[in-house]
Amino acid sequence: MSPGLRIALAVTGVGIFFDQITKSWAESRLDAGACSTSTDSCIDLIFGARFHLAYNKGAAFSSGESLGYLFGILALIMSVVLLYLAWKSTNKLNSILFGMVAGGALGNFADRAFRGDTSGFLDGGVVDFIDLGWWPIFNIADCLIVVGAIGLLLNSKESKPDDVTLAEEI
């Protein structure tokens, strides 16, 4: 196993663990639905931010709710590609970032695969619970995907010719 793949797999595993443990906490502590002072539906934090449980069967911003299975399959394929890129990479930072994006994608894939009802293939809703009040509700997996993707974009400008980047492989 290459050093890049070893790093990416470790980051992926840690990312999935923290994503799933926080989602389990949110489901055990919060009630889905509108926030109310008479229920435990939300936990207020600061500056309007709060923990607020919601389920998303679609993609970003709840778009494409009938295509959840497709997003799940794409997340799985994307994760395999990212781990392949990590295997080929000589850049440790890229390997970490590939692992972050793969961990986030697999965390949301796990929700679609294991948190749904029995009505269909990959029919589960992604558990979201971080609500800033001015942005759609999201989760730790979403943070990993966004931070990892931005990091890969920024690091691609700093890459040396022998580094493997997503653009070179595609």
Query: Which residues carry out catalysis?
Result: 128, 142
Q: Where are the alpha helices (DSSP H) in 30-139?
A: 68-88, 92-114
Neighbours of 4 (CB within 10 A): 24
Residues β-bridged to residue 55? 127
SS3 content of the chain, % helix, strand, coil (to 5): 60, 10, 30
3-state secondary structure of 52: strand
Q: What is d(CA 60, CA 90) in angstroms, rounded to the nearest whole number?
A: 32
